Amino acid sequence: MAGFSFVVESRDGRARAGRLSTPHGEVETPAFMPVGTAGAVKAVLHRDLREIGARILLANTYHLMLRPGDALVAALGGLHGFTGWDSPFLTDSGGYQVFSLAALRKLDEEGARFQSHIDGSAQLLSPERSIEVQQNLGADVVMAFDECPPGDASREVVAEASARTTRWARRCRAVHRRTDQCLFGIVQGGVHLDLREASARELLELDFAGYAVGGLSVGERKPERDRVLEHLDPILPEDRPRYLMGVGTPEDLVDSVARGMDLFDCVLPTRNARNGQLFTRRGRLSIRNARYRDDPRPPDPDCACPTCRTASRAYLRHLHQAGEMSAATLMTLHNLFYYLDIMREVRQSIRLCRFEEWRGITLRRLAAADQDGS
């Protein structure tokens, strides 16, 4: 694969600090990827994302396939040319929509047949079509098409979804042609350790450039998720990047780094920001609370983000209550900075061989924090 490499530079226990190199730049890991579903992170500009330290964005295969269409994106220079973001992109496979849009689709061995949520048109998303779309989009890191069962699915359903994910992974591997893209396989198996192990070992035989762990954060309990990651850590190759899909809170990210994960994405910081909830080192803060009507303090006095340098809680509450678009922008920048800054501290603590000490202090502080951020 032209222009790709991954190296683990430091370890502290199971936690790894490394570097993923792509044709569009390097990403220090562990890393959090802001979610840009339609090729943009809601409410913020690429310029601001760069300023707060974002180095890789996630875009959504399913949504871009339907609108504006992957052929159009390809004609306009792929995601990088189309959006103007010149750093790395990762695209998911569309497999999560097989789970989240279950009411609109029918699943068989060929793929997922569904009605477009935009215009009702009939669509087929198969392993081959998923790879075709992702090659057209031109992301640096792309995903094999998978089936993601719900967290409460029976063992029988999870076993079949896991087996189908392996069969689909083989088909993805067979048709992927771009040498300037890094293709990841996705480990499934729910909370069943034997199914997870079988899925991982089958995917290892296909020699993917990296491995994602899917099918978590879909309703399982946190101890079950942790147990799965602990089981997979010695099975997944040391020299390949590991991506935990769709997880989660700051505490989840820290605990998952401790179990060997390198890459993360989640809509939580951006979605919560648009709903008026801010992550701070003193707990979560709901800006709608009347107590902030005349509060001159920044959202987080310990934060160096552009929002905390310029905006008071009173001003943010006013903007949010008035329905001003800038409220979403300012609060999204803060939440993303918080997540990215946590990852920066994670990397630094691993390199200093102080990760477990830092983790303990951080998790105790978050657990003790006032849940309204005061």
Q: Which active-site residues does the annotation give? A: 92, 265
Task: State both tokens at 221.
Answer: 């309990």
Write the CA distances from 99 to 36, 112, 147, integer angstroms. Answer: 19, 10, 7
- Calculate ∠ Cα 69-244-23, nearest 5°: 55
* CB-count exposure of residue 2 (10 Å: 0-12, 13-18, 19+): exposed
363-367: long-range pairs with CB below 8 Å, 24+: 363/251, 363/254, 363/255, 365/281, 366/250, 366/251, 366/283
**Strand partners of residue 20:** 6, 27
Instruction: Rounding to the nearest 10 degrees, give the CA dihedral for residues 218, 220, 223, 224.
Output: -100
Q: Is the dihedral of CA 126, 132, 137, 143 positive or negative?
A: positive
Compute the half-sphere exposure of residue 355: CA atoms within 13 Å on the CB side of its CA: 25
As a whole number of angstroms, the distance between CA 179 and CA 185 comes to 16
CB atoms within 10 A of CB 127: 27
Of how many residues is the chain composed? 374
Angle at 201 between CA 199 and CA 207, to 5 degrees: 110
CA atoms within 13 A on the CB side of 272: 21
Phi/psi region, residue 94 (left: phi>0; alpha: psi -120 to 50; beta: rest), is left
